[in-house]
Amino acid sequence: MKQVPVNHRDRTLWAKVDDEDYEFLTQFRWSATVRRTVTYANTSVPTYPGSIGVSMHRMIMGDAAEDWQTTMKGYREYKLNNGKTVFILPSQSRRLRKIDIDHVDGNGLNNTGASLRHLSRPEQIRNRRH
């Protein structure tokens, strides 16, 4: 296991990642996003036109393609250099994802394979820590 620096205001946080993901992830500059009580690592990925924000956990796991293709309209596939695919939705559709990536231990900066899983939105809401 290795750690990737994540900028948050005037300090550095550290995201845990598996050794095989480390080299790919260190190509990007990561910043922290706090949602409710969980902190996540995010970066910008260049696309045409402009750039998009992508979470570290989505880069590691990729998106669940079989679910998106039947339920989403207007999305674009974006192939990452690590062989994974993330799907970019029109901004008004962001909350319509049916399959999300869940951090098993509730730590948004623990991005090791053992801590991440694809989970439906209802399952994820049931597992949410309050």
**Cα angle value 55/44/115 (rounded, 5°):** 15
pLDDT, one tens digit per residue, over 39-83 is 999 998 776 666 778 889 988 988 776 655 555 566 677 778 888
Q: Looking at residue 42, what is its pLDDT? A: 93
CATH number at residue 88: 3.90.75
For residue 78, list its beta bridge partners.
86
By CB atoms closer than 10 A (0-12, 13-18, 19+), residue 29 is: exposed
Q: Is the pTM of this model over 0.85?
A: no
For residue 43, list its beta bridge partners.
54
Report the number of distinct structural domains present in the chain: 1
Domain carrying residue 116: 2-127
pLDDT-derived band at 15 (thresholds 50, 70, 90) equals very high
pLDDT, one tens digit per residue, over 96-126 is 567 778 899 989 999 999 999 988 878 877 7
